[in-house]
A and B are shown apart, each in its own frame.
Chain A
Amino acid sequence: MLKFIFRRILETVPVLLCVAAMTFFMCRLAPGGPFDDDKQVTPEVREQLNKQFNLDKPLYAQFYQYLVNLPNLQSFKYPSRTVGDIISQKFPVSAKLGFLAMCIALSIGIMFGVIASLRPNSYIDYIPSSLAMIGICLPTFVMGPILIYIFSLKLKWLPATGWGGFDGDIFFASDMILPSLTLGLFYAAYISRLTRGGMLDILTQDYIRTAKAKGASAPRILLKHALRGGLLPVISFMGPAVAGLIAGSFVIETIFNIPGLGQDFVKSAFNRDYTLVLGVVMFYATLIVTLNLIVDILQVSLNPKLKFQS
């Protein structure tokens, strides 16, 4: 297993390099630059700015500098912050939101999926399945405002925006509920569909029949025997999903005004904030690669048919 992990880590190096190169050069090919503003600057000022941010150096030299020193480079848009500053301040927020959303997604999604799989094509199946379908079809930018309207503006139970207390930095605050729920429900819908599919597949397997024949109780068969295999599709889905969840959701963060990394992921590209774009993309890429590796390991340990090999 160690050998497998080691090889996989080695494989990620060229992948990340490719990502870095593509991001860097695509950014540079895009028209417009970080200093374009509705008030145009004189050529002299532009030249000085390029000098200050090393844009006057050849591209390969800049790329090299970005590669070796990315976290300590200044953001173009927010010059008083480095790329490292921004990611380290904002990532924990996104990660927490993602974690809470994932908890909601997993608990609701698996529960609904399992229930639906018990009596396929009956009301017990139709109700959770159609709820899940609605969840998939309702994008977060619709779900979020609906929840805000009901729980914040009409019932006045929960704050409409903010994170960790609109004023403070509270570890668990009421303003975390709505964004986590909005994001969680969206993923719950997928997870419940995947769980249902996986479970239906497993419940018809021979070993389940054997377990039944041996007189194992229904909950035991379900939870001990079936769930282990039935959740494999969910596990594969969780790799990229977790990366997506904790790296931040642009939509949720914008609607609820949450200071997470998801906003920078999108806005830095619009701002031509060359350093920040690369920083956020590389961070996200590393996250995905790592999580995929973890998922692979998890899958092997859950599925006896698989072995570590690459």
Chain B
Amino acid sequence: MIYRMIARASICLMPLILVGCGSGEKSETSNEALKILKITVGAEPEDIDPHVVTGVPEHHIIAALTEGLVAEDPVDLHPVPGVAEKWEVSEDGKVYTFQIRENAKWSNGDPVTSTDFAESYKRILTPALASKYAYMLFVMEGAEDYSTGKLKDFSKVGVKVINKQTLQIKLNAPTPYFLSLLNHYTWFPVHISTVKKYDGLTKRGSGWTKPENFVGNGAFNLKSWTLGRKLVVEKSPTYWDAKSTKLDEIHFFAIELETTQENAFRAGQLHNIYNLHIDKVATYKKEHADELRIKPHLASYFYRFNVNKKPCDDVRIRQALTMAIDRESIVKNVTKGEQMASTFFTPPGVGGYTARARFKEDVGEAQKLLAQAGYPNGEGFPSLELLYNTTEGHRIIAEAIQQMWKKNLNINVTLQNQEWKVYLDRQRQMDYQISRAGWTGDYPDPNTFLDMWTSWSQQNQTGWSDTKYDALIRKAAITKDPDTRLEVFQEAEEILMDQLPIIPIYIYTRVYALHPAVKNWHANVLDHHPWKHIDLDLNLLKK
């Protein structure tokens, strides 16, 4: 028995030793002539149905597989022709007419038509599909009503098929960021007859996204998708601009852990580190400066106040707490990723907008406000709890702020960490006093940061509402003149920074590493990288 066990064990180990090193490298050398980009975009994609998913990893993958009416310039992301070769905007800025190019094809050879787009919009707005991101289409006339079930007749929604090649979209209001919005995957078309074939249009995860079934219209085709391992896309021959596609394949690896990403990168198995661990930044600055990238990101890190609960219902206390934080010190000593300390909410430069409203960091003033609110030198201050989701990064920031409040205002705050879903649930139920949060913009326009604080927004979750603020956001939505519109946002953000239902802390940066062989990769605030432009220098890769 035992002899046999040991004998078997050694037999099992033999091939391991015999195969030994090299099998991994062998497959690499056989692919030498092909340009294969191997990258990770973090977590495993939940699905690749653009009408169902909500995540960032999914965005990167879907952007390779599908193309919308317009595409993005690889450098600054301004809208360039995509499936539509040209478009016209009506005088009042509300009607867009797109001319779809004749050579736009699906991966099965079918032409991409205006009906595909109209049907796709219908699908994502259908209540039964319950698309979490359907609200991205609400700028379109009637879209919101159709999606909530108030409107039953889709022909009343502002999308019209003029002919096979012409599509007209009517908006509720002139929307200056509309063309950028079209690059969000919710506006991407799906191959309706394929989706229909597998359990109908409104069933999520019906199997049409499996590699053997998937039909897309992007620069790349889905080749394989192994759960937990990687998703492979290959250059699509049917894509209208296939001659511009430079890579033969992209392998999207699902690697969540930062250190694992780094190990794979350092061992030459991967061409990027999606998130570089903060402890490594200093080393990379010294030793691998050519690989390290630190770029501003369209995202804001902040704390929410529950304005319905004492003591944060008092604006003076909210102001005092906000003013008594030294943000420069946090980004310099705690987060260390060259984040921008923010005394405003909207990341600067978004759609030509840089917030004018700024609060001061002023400990003396903060103490005064606290005293006015009835707690001189923090005496008698009620218990205050700061809720955050369990992550090392959030903990150290919370601890720093806890110390600053103790030192500057002499108040004690307890820290409460909760697992992600519990934290989300408590935030949704308004069962918190102060809660950590982050917000990533969906499109480069101040609206994506400011409309979330309206009284009707699901994302508000502070209990704060202000009729004047609501009115301003409504006004901005129908203002045609771009400068006037930005001015309206300025006024709105002034109210927000005066009332402070939130504590802005910093503007995120993306800290990552990229192999120098990866070419045409331009940093931008949305972290979008149109894949057809990306190239790989095979000579640099060999080194």
Contacts and interface: CB of A to CB of B under 8 A. Distances in A.
A161 B422 contact: no
Nearest to B129: A48
Contacts of A258: 228
B255 interface: yes
Contacts of B256: 254
Interface in A132-165: 145, 148, 152-153, 156-163, 165
A86 B228 CA distance: 9
A223 B3 contact: yes
A104 B6 CA distance: 10
B127 A227 contact: no
Contacts of A257: 253-255, 257, 260, 264
B519 interface: no
A49 interface: yes
A13 interface: no
Q: For A37, A38, A260, which residue has the most chain B Cβ atoms within 10 angstroms?
A: A38
A33 B266 CA distance: 38
B455 to A, nearest CB: 14
A270 to B, nearest CB: 6
Interface in A110-143: 110
B226 A152 contact: no
Contact of B149 (A30, A44, A166): A44
B209 A177 contact: no
Contacts of B426: 31
A80 B205 contact: yes
Given A90-B228, A263-B228, A270-B420, A41 B27 contact: no
B2 interface: yes
Interface string A173-204: 11111001000000000000000000000000
A160 B127 contact: no
B2 A228 contact: yes
A265 to B, nearest CB: 12
A36 B263 contact: no
Interface stretch (A14-22, A60-68, A71-79, A208-216): A71-79
Nearest to A231: B2
B20 A174 contact: yes
B204 A163 contact: no
For chain A, give the interface size range: 35 or more
A84 interface: no
B15 interface: yes
B251 interface: yes
Contacts of B257: 254-255, 257
Interface string A227-269: 1100100000000000000000000001111111001000000
Contacts of B133: 39
Contacts of B5: 106
Given A52-B203, A167-B27, A227-B2, 10 more contacts: A32-B422, A36-B428, A37-B54, A42-B148, A51-B130, A52-B130, A158-B21, A172-B19, A174-B22, A257-B264
Interface of A: 30-33, 35-42, 44-46, 48-49, 51-52, 74-75, 77-81, 85-86, 89-90, 99-100, 103-104, 106-107, 110, 145, 148, 152-153, 156-163, 165-168, 170, 172-177, 180, 223, 227-228, 231, 254-260, 263, 270-272, 302
Interface of B: 1-3, 5-6, 8-10, 12-13, 15-16, 19-24, 27-28, 31, 38, 44, 46-47, 49, 52, 54, 127-135, 148-149, 203-207, 209-210, 226-229, 251, 253-257, 259-260, 263-264, 266-267, 269, 419-426, 428, 437-438, 458-459, 461
30 contacts: A30-B422, A31-B426, A32-B422, A32-B423, A32-B425, A35-B132, A36-B428, A44-B127, A52-B204, A79-B46, A79-B47, A79-B205, A80-B207, A80-B209, A81-B227, A104-B13, A106-B5, A152-B263, A160-B266, A161-B260, A161-B263, A162-B24, A163-B229, A166-B27, A174-B19, A257-B253, A258-B228, A259-B254, A260-B228, A270-B419
